[in-house]
Chain A
């Protein structure tokens, strides 16, 4: 690095270099926080019980009426709106819970029975149960000796 100080044509090159290195360190730190840090809202999990796919999503502060779920035979979309903000007559000290409008789609690995989807909301966690279509249910096949 010292050699850059001697470069009379561009005396600020060392600063430039430091700034670039710092930028790289910060970018790496960002990525080191893992996939969860970059996951979109809401955080969700998908389970595969044999009969159905079960999606759980954390949606604290979202009322039942503000959630909308749509499905096709191989995807599910959860959208909604969270209304936060100071209640009438209150002053704000700190606001970390943002108001937001979200939509997130999930591609499912097998065909589901759209008519039989059920959804529930408990303690700010949305659970959507999507029974698999008969076509994608596993079938036992007996082996016959010949």
Chain B
């Protein structure tokens, strides 16, 4: 059975790896209220300078990595030195200049404020 399954044993990831470190998509929560979108992402072990947030062409990409662990005296380990990567398509109503990010207890908080101009509006139908 193992031979048959070789084709599916690769883990799904958000991007093709370019190094031998595995790339995983962090778990995220996405919330919205009248003023902003709020994205929370689990990034355990990542320091402030290990997070890169990049915005281009309507896509917000989140990349994070944690420092290499040089210890070799492990009795057992379930923790992998992974790179995190995830890309979000951002609605045009987001004011990209005011995106803010903060890292608390290994959780990234991304605040994406909405612009005022894209609020609800009424369109009247003209008669000819």
List residues of A whose CB falls within 8 A of some B CB: 24-25, 28-29, 32-33, 35-36, 39, 43-49, 53, 56, 58-63, 84, 86-87, 89-97, 109, 121, 123-125
B43 and A43 contacting across the interface, CB-CB below 8 Å: no
B8 and A96 contacting across the interface, CB-CB below 8 Å: no
The count of A-to-B residue pairs whose CB atoms sit within 8 angstroms is 115
CA distance A91 to B35 in the complex (A): 12
Is B80's CB within 8 Å of the partner chain A? yes
CA distance A124 to B43 in the complex (A): 8
CA distance A65 to B32 in the complex (A): 28
CA distance A53 to B78 in the complex (A): 16
Size of the chain B interface, CB-CB below 8 angstroms = 36
Instruction: Give the shortest distance, in Å, between B42 (CB) and chain A (any CB).
Output: 4
Instruction: Give the shortest distance, in Å, between A65 (CB) and chain B (any CB).
Output: 11
Residues A61 and B106 in contact in the complex (CB < 8 Å), given A28-B1, A29-B5, A91-B32: yes
Complex contacts, A48 vs chain B, CB 8 Å: 73-75
A44 and B44 contacting across the interface, CB-CB below 8 Å: no
CA distance A90 to B35 in the complex (A): 10
B75 and A109 contacting across the interface, CB-CB below 8 Å: yes
A94 and B28 contacting across the interface, CB-CB below 8 Å: yes
B38 and A87 contacting across the interface, CB-CB below 8 Å: yes
CA distance A93 to B1 in the complex (A): 39
The digit string for B65-94, where 1 denotes a CB below 8 A from any CB of A, is 000000101111111100000000000000
CA distance A84 to B32 in the complex (A): 15
Is B105's CB within 8 Å of the partner chain A? yes
CA distance A44 to B103 in the complex (A): 21
> Which single residue of chain B is at the shortest CB-CB distance from A109?
B75
Is B30's CB within 8 Å of the partner chain A? yes
Is B14's CB within 8 Å of the partner chain A? no
**Of residues 33 to 81 in B, which have CB atoms within 8 Å of A's CB atoms?**
33, 37-38, 40, 42-47, 71, 73-80
Complex contacts, B106 vs chain A, CB 8 Å: 58-61, 123-125
> Which single residue of chain B is at the shortest CB-CB distance from A66?
B105
